[in-house]
Amino acid sequence: MTKFLTFADEAQAREILAEYINEDGEWITGGLYWSMLVLGVVSDADGNPYPGYGVNWAGDMPEYLLPFEVEVETPANVFA
Protein backbone atom coordinates (compact mmCIF):
# COMPACT_ATOMS: atom_id res chain seq x y z
CA MET A 1 0.00 0.00 0.00
CA THR A 2 1.35 3.43 -0.92
CA LYS A 3 1.66 6.02 1.79
CA PHE A 4 1.79 9.72 0.98
CA LEU A 5 4.27 11.92 2.84
CA THR A 6 4.44 15.71 2.84
CA PHE A 7 7.32 17.80 4.12
CA ALA A 8 7.47 21.59 4.50
CA ASP A 9 9.95 21.84 1.62
CA GLU A 10 12.77 19.95 -0.11
CA ALA A 11 15.26 20.93 2.58
CA GLN A 12 13.14 19.32 5.29
CA ALA A 13 12.60 16.20 3.17
CA ARG A 14 16.37 15.87 2.65
CA GLU A 15 17.00 16.38 6.37
CA ILE A 16 14.41 13.83 7.52
CA LEU A 17 15.24 11.32 4.76
CA ALA A 18 19.03 11.86 4.92
CA GLU A 19 19.74 8.13 5.17
CA TYR A 20 18.11 7.74 1.73
CA ILE A 21 20.52 10.13 -0.01
CA ASN A 22 23.81 8.84 -1.38
CA GLU A 23 27.21 10.54 -1.23
CA ASP A 24 26.48 12.28 -4.57
CA GLY A 25 23.33 13.88 -3.13
CA GLU A 26 20.99 11.64 -5.16
CA TRP A 27 17.94 9.92 -3.71
CA ILE A 28 18.12 6.19 -3.00
CA THR A 29 14.66 5.20 -4.16
CA GLY A 30 14.42 1.57 -3.20
CA GLY A 31 15.72 -1.25 -1.09
CA LEU A 32 14.66 -4.59 0.28
CA TYR A 33 10.91 -4.35 1.13
CA TRP A 34 10.48 -0.62 0.38
CA SER A 35 10.53 1.99 -2.37
CA MET A 36 9.86 5.70 -2.62
CA LEU A 37 9.04 8.14 -5.35
CA VAL A 38 10.14 11.71 -4.74
CA LEU A 39 7.41 13.88 -6.24
CA GLY A 40 8.58 17.31 -5.14
CA VAL A 41 5.96 20.04 -5.52
CA VAL A 42 2.57 18.49 -6.33
CA SER A 43 -0.21 20.36 -8.16
CA ASP A 44 -3.93 19.77 -8.48
CA ALA A 45 -5.66 19.21 -11.83
CA ASP A 46 -5.85 22.97 -12.40
CA GLY A 47 -2.11 23.44 -11.85
CA ASN A 48 -2.42 24.96 -8.38
CA PRO A 49 0.43 23.72 -6.17
CA TYR A 50 -0.31 22.02 -2.87
CA PRO A 51 1.78 23.28 0.02
CA GLY A 52 4.82 21.20 0.83
CA TYR A 53 7.08 18.66 -0.83
CA GLY A 54 5.66 15.23 -1.65
CA VAL A 55 7.09 11.73 -1.41
CA ASN A 56 5.23 8.47 -2.05
CA TRP A 57 6.36 5.50 0.04
CA ALA A 58 5.59 1.82 -0.55
CA GLY A 59 6.47 -1.07 1.73
CA ASP A 60 8.05 -1.02 5.16
CA MET A 61 8.18 2.56 6.44
CA PRO A 62 10.15 3.72 9.49
CA GLU A 63 7.98 4.94 12.38
CA TYR A 64 9.71 8.33 12.43
CA LEU A 65 7.99 9.12 9.11
CA LEU A 66 4.47 8.70 10.54
CA PRO A 67 4.09 12.42 11.45
CA PHE A 68 4.61 13.29 7.76
CA GLU A 69 1.97 10.89 6.43
CA VAL A 70 -1.12 12.53 4.93
CA GLU A 71 -4.43 11.09 3.84
CA VAL A 72 -5.19 11.52 0.15
CA GLU A 73 -8.87 11.16 -0.69
CA THR A 74 -8.52 10.42 -4.41
CA PRO A 75 -4.87 9.94 -5.34
CA ALA A 76 -4.06 10.27 -9.02
CA ASN A 77 -0.99 10.86 -11.14
CA VAL A 78 -1.32 12.99 -14.25
CA PHE A 79 1.65 13.21 -16.55
CA ALA A 80 1.90 16.11 -18.95
pLDDT at position 76 is 62
Range of the domain at 12: 2-70
- Contact assessment for residue 65 and residue 57, using Cβ atoms and an 8 Å cutoff: yes
Q: Is residue 80 part of a domain?
A: no
| Domain contains 6 | yes
Number of domains making up the chain: 1
**Assigned domain for 78 exists:** no
pLDDT for residue 20 is more than 90: yes
- Rounded CA separation 59/33 (Å): 6
pTM for the whole structure? 0.85
pLDDT higher than threshold 70 for residue 79: no
Q: Is the pLDDT of residue 13 over 90?
A: yes
In a domain, 77, yes or no: no
Q: Decide if 58 is inside a domain.
A: yes
**79 found inside a domain:** no
Question: Is residue 64 situated within a structural domain?
Answer: yes
Is residue 52 assigned to a domain? Answer: yes
